[in-house]
Amino acid sequence: MSEDNQHSFFQLVPDQVLDAIESVGLEPQAALLALNSYENRVYQFRDYDEKKYVVKFYRPNRWTDEQILEEHHFTLQLADNEIPVIPPLIFKGESLLTYAGFRFAIFDCRGGRTPELEDKKTLTWIGRFIGRIHALGESETFKHRPELTINSFAEKSAEYLLGNNFLPNHIVPAYEAISSQLIDLSKQRFDELGKYPSIRLHGDCHPSNVLWTDDGPHFVDFDDARMGPAVQDLWMLINDASDRELWSNLLEGYEDFMEFDDRQFKIMEPLRTIRMIHYSAWLARRWEDPSFKHNFPWFNTARYWEEHILSLKEQLSVMQHG
């Protein structure tokens, strides 16, 4: 997509959204509700039968068509196996749709609330479905989507921040030192783990992407789906490897369908580390998008970077003593 279309993506207007929806044969009401998404543009709408849908416009130049279609294929597989995900709807045999240079997909709208992860039954139920996601996830591999690696998430992220002058000069030496130490320690932990199965993952399975209803959980936003270790889809729900009761509850359900290799606990803190480094670089890479400057006004200030360094130092202490 050209720079002009990239800029127009930032300023996607309701009329364009409605025209795109109408182009596939739906009849949306004029009211659109913008949903809380920064990477893509996501809106809820109703048709004239009062059925609710969600339309997602994909950010240009992030994923190729092939990578988006792999995500769609994965979620459609999961839905076909009665695993509670929300796959894209199919229009004339296509899930990835285009209009005026924009790529988009339409989904059924299903609500829910944040799950109560301290509740044993809830956590076990969620674990059971993640186990089913992973059991199906290991049946194929992504051919186009990337793998979760220290290089892609941490090394390249640190290089981007340092190479594009985001850090204040007085922060640069501290960031270079701390990020290098954390990356080296993370590599060491992965080396200690040794070879592990890399499977198709949700990739970003934090509590806000698990919506709870009286009928149980459903999983949303597979936009970060990729190959990686199973623990990546588990640690963000527990956050503390030492909380044996919560891990026991989660794995009780998970291991009904998928064996968990306890050795992967070794890389839980490295995964948290590379996510921290990646998050700052993600904000930096999107900083020319006006919506990011509006929604993250605290980013790229001296205070932000000073607090980021402090967080990385705290994480280094955890890694060194873990």
> Hey, what CATH topology would domain 3-108 get?
Phosphorylase Kinase; domain 1 (3.30.200)
The pTM for the full model equals 0.93
Interval 282-296 mean pLDDT: 92
Grouping H, G, I as helix, E, B as strand and the rest as coil, residue 9 is helix
Q: What is the pLDDT of residue 5?
A: 52
Q: Is the pLDDT of residue 4 over 60?
A: no
Interval 8-17 mean pLDDT: 84
Q: What is the pLDDT of residue 11?
A: 75
Max CA separation in the chain (angstroms): 60
Q: What is the pLDDT of residue 290?
A: 87
Query: Per the residue annotation, which of 80, 221, 262, 289 is the catalytic one?
Result: 221
Answer positive or negative: Cα dihedral of 37, 202, 241, 186. Answer: negative
Residue 135: exposed, middle, or buried by beta-carbon count in 10 A (0-12, 13-18, 19+)?
A: middle
Q: Is 221 a catalytic residue?
A: yes
Per-residue model confidence as pLDDT tens digits over 170-213: 999 999 999 999 999 999 999 999 999 999 999 999 999 999 99
Query: Per the residue annotation, which of 191, 204, 233, 262 is the catalytic one?
Result: 204
How far does CA 26 lie from the centroid of its chain? 28
CA atoms within 13 A on the CB side of 170: 5
> Hey, what CATH topology would domain 120-321 get?
Transferase(Phosphotransferase); domain 1 (1.10.510)
Q: Is the pLDDT of residue 104 over 70?
A: yes
Q: Is the pLDDT of residue 21 over 60?
A: yes
Q: Is 204 a catalytic residue?
A: yes
- For residue 294, which amino acid is it? H
Q: What is the pLDDT of residue 3?
A: 43
Interval 34-54 mean pLDDT: 93
Q: What is the pLDDT of residue 276?
A: 97
Domain locations along the chain: 3-108, 120-321
Share of the chain above pLDDT 90, in %: 89
Residue 8 confidence class, pLDDT cut points 50, 70, 90: low
Rg of the chain, C-alpha, whole Å: 21
